[in-house]
Amino acid sequence: MNFRIKHLIFPVRKVVKLVIEPIFPLRVDPKECYSIRFLPFSGLRKYGLRNSGYIPTAADEAFFAEEHPLSPEGDFLTLSVTFPQEDCYICRLYVGDTQVETHEIYALEEDLFAKNPYKGDNHLHTRFSDGKDSPMYMAAAACRFGYDYCVITDHYRYAPSLMARDFFAPTGIDFLVVPGEEVHSPDNPVHIINWGGRESVNAWFQQNEAEYRAAVEAELSAITEPMTDADRYAAAACQVIFDRIRQAGGLSILCHPHWIVTHGFNEHEDITDYLADHKRFDVLELIAGGAYEVGTQIQLSYYKARPAMPIVGSSDSHGCFGDALEPGNFTIAFADSLEVEAIKSAIGSGLAIAGNDNKFYGDYRLVKYAYFLQRNYYPEHKKKRNALGAWMVRMASSNGETDTPDDKRKAIRPSEDFTKLRYTE
């Protein structure tokens, strides 16, 4: 590439200034004619925007039908432009009559324009349950693989997540460790993540089983639909756990309901249906670990057949294997900032998609935008995350003893990459 477009993310229906910079040693040649043409991915939409309050005009149509000369401004080439619709725009760049390069930019409605994409893994085990690595090492691995945040979620245990969070938080690094745990309550086969809760829900029923049983009994009578006794008990128990997670300030995530175990699905489908029909949980873990592949495929078609619900993708990794947290499933949350409350609110309100390096799932607008980010943002972002993650790995494997003042890697701020791509006047 010989040219770089300064900003890649723009607001729709505002006059913005596109700035193109030749990459050294190329310079703007005042004797040359530079021009650009924009092709909206979806075509110029009139039918699609007919109910939106703005329909592209004949002037828009003319604008997107031809090339536009770029004005030299010192070392830059510029053009004022208004993007009429939320879309990816292919930018064809010409020097004289020759098309020299193609770039992509994205224009977004105000709601998404204001958000930052944060990639994270919401389900990780460590050697404090049945995983093989330390909580610190798993967090470091998540950063090394390009993620902005992770949630440590050991079976029955909340403390390991705090161990990782408290190990890295004082260093001030640009990576978020969210507290969490995988909750398994008595006589309830359903696996549930307590995402970001301020306290342990496992500890609550371990220390107060009578209180738990009484709460489940109280919920049982509210379930009037036909169901086997065991499934009814599980559904009531789930309700108690979901409520308890919300009381603790967390998000309740229904984990891998279609995971295939020795008796079939991990939980009977009546339980899943009942909980989904009554919107009992906050979020569905749509795709999870590699051992669940068949279950995941079944779950994807289950999800498609239902009204939209908030989702996440997670690895459910039990260790760091080679160059991925297998099988590399993650979530992209479109949030205001890299903080627990902001990410929680994004996921809980459906501003998140599930995916891996090959496929994304979820809301159409978000998925279309995420594939643009996959092409134009994540490759460079991952390199910075990898460098920061390498420092975290070094700290994690030496219990913090190898931090040296001359190691600049911990000062890397990968989150700022995105804000640099977003248009500012």
Site residues for Zn ion per CB under 5 A: 182, 191, 255, 316
Do the beta carbons of residue 44 and residue 56 sit within 8 Å? yes
* Nearer to Zn ion (CB atom), residue 182 or residue 282: 182
Query: What is the nearest approach in angstroms of Zn ion to the Cβ of residue 191?
Result: 3
Query: What is the nearest approach in angstroms of Zn ion to the Cβ of residue 266?
Result: 8
* Nearer to Zn ion (CB atom), residue 126 or residue 376: 126
Query: What is the nearest approach in angstroms of Zn ion to the Cβ of residue 121?
Result: 11
* Nearer to Zn ion (CB atom), residue 183 or residue 395: 183
Longest dimension (CA), the chain: 84
Beta strands in 96-195 (DSSP E): 98-108, 116-124, 149-152, 176-178, 180-183, 192-195
Query: What is the nearest approach in angstroms of Zn ion to the Cβ of residue 132?
Result: 14
Residue 47 to residue 306: CA distance in whole angstroms: 27
* Nearer to Zn ion (CB atom), residue 28 or residue 260: 260
* Nearer to Zn ion (CB atom), residue 86 or residue 316: 316
SS3 189: coil
* Nearer to Zn ion (CB atom), residue 168 or residue 259: 259
Query: What is the nearest approach in angstroms of Zn ion to the Cβ of residue 186?
Result: 16
Measure the N-to-C terminal CA separation of the chain; round to a whole number of Å. Answer: 25
Query: Of how many residues is the chain composed?
Result: 425
Q: Tell me whether residue 192 is exposed, middle or buried, using C-beta atoms within 10 angstroms of its C-beta: 0 to 12, 13 to 18, 19 or more.
A: buried
Pairing of strands 116-124, 149-152: parallel
Alpha-carbon separation of residue 307 from 270, 277, 285, 304, 363 (angstroms): 17, 9, 15, 8, 11
- Nearest-CB residue to Zn ion? 191
Query: What is the nearest approach in angstroms of Zn ion to the Cβ of residue 155?
Result: 7
Do the beta carbons of residue 86 and residue 108 sit within 8 Å? yes
Query: What is the nearest approach in angstroms of Zn ion to the Cβ of residue 134?
Result: 17
* Nearer to Zn ion (CB atom), residue 63 or residue 265: 265
